[in-house]
Structure 1
């Protein structure tokens, strides 16, 4: 299991168990009928996030996710041109063949589980790195930089 020395796990679990728990959280949040559908959505959204996230934030997030989820995230090569939050949703919709509304729902369901794994400090760092529009996808207020 991947761990982060800055955020030790109180009760380490086998990576398969942690991933199964993540899938159950996504299944519950997204009201998906099966664990397989939740897995499909997790893989789509984490692949997309892996194409957007770079640097320490990418490494730290991978360290806090279950091993299988971390693999999905880190197998992606980051895009040269980052996408805004809405462009991210549209890109995932095009890749999956789903509507933007459905994809927005899927993204929020997966990001709720990511927030639970990552914690608020890392999510804040991630949101500072990404272009505008991701905060709402993560269930957060949009961050504004000081003028």
Structure 2
């Protein structure tokens, strides 16, 4: 298991999200992982946190509280609401940049276990559409 360094994680998010600054990548990572953490429990959340840089791991482990699991569309809307100036379209881009980077850090087995804890449809947000499914 390899934990990505802070700079390496944010560089990947910045590249994938095509952000102008590392601050923009960090803002997206903080919001998306805080929202994601509210949906994960137990060993899966702890194992994912262990593969993230420490600051982001703490955000995942101390998430924003969700009254109920958000389906992927509501997750996108919630992300847009938490990022200043974001729209649902830009939030979808932010989510894809962050979650695909987190999935790469997690590896396939852990990512599959993460997806099992989430409502259907999150595989697309992680950049891992299931075979035979069209967006």
User: So what's the TM-score if we normalise by structure 1?
Assistant: 0.82
1:113 lines up with 2:101 in the alignment = yes
Q: CA deviation at 1:120?
A: 0.4
Cα deviation digits, residues 101-130 of structure 1 (max 9, x gap): 000000000011101110000000111110
Equivalent of residue 51 in structure 2, options 61, 64, 67:
64
Structure 1 residue ranges, 4+ long, deviating more than 4 angstroms after superposition: none
Point out the structure with max Rg over C-alpha: 1
Equivalent of residue 7 in structure 2, options 20, 24, 27:
20
Q: Which piece of structure 1 moves more, 24-33 or 47-56? A: 47-56
**Residues paired across the two proteins, number:** 131
Which residues of structure 1 form unaligned runs of 5+?
1-6
Check 1:77–1:37 CA distance in 2 against 1; reply closer, same or farther (3 A cut): closer
Match of 1:132 in 2: 120
Quote the Cα distance in structure 1 between the aligned partners of 2:11 and 2:102.
13
Equivalent of residue 36 in structure 2, options 44, 49, 52:
49
Given that residues 34 and 64 in structure 2 are in contact (C-alpha distance below 8 angstroms), is that contact kept between their aligned partners in structure 1?
A: no
Q: Which piece of structure 1 moves more, 62-71 or 102-111? A: 62-71
Check 1:104–1:60 CA distance in 2 against 1; reply closer, same or farther (3 A cut): same
Match of 1:87 in 2: 74
Given that residues 135 and 141 in structure 1 are in contact (C-alpha distance below 8 angstroms), is that contact kept between their aligned partners in structure 2?
A: yes
CA RMSD of aligned residues (A): 1.9
Quote the Cα distance in structure 2 between the aligned partners of 1:107 and 1:133.
13
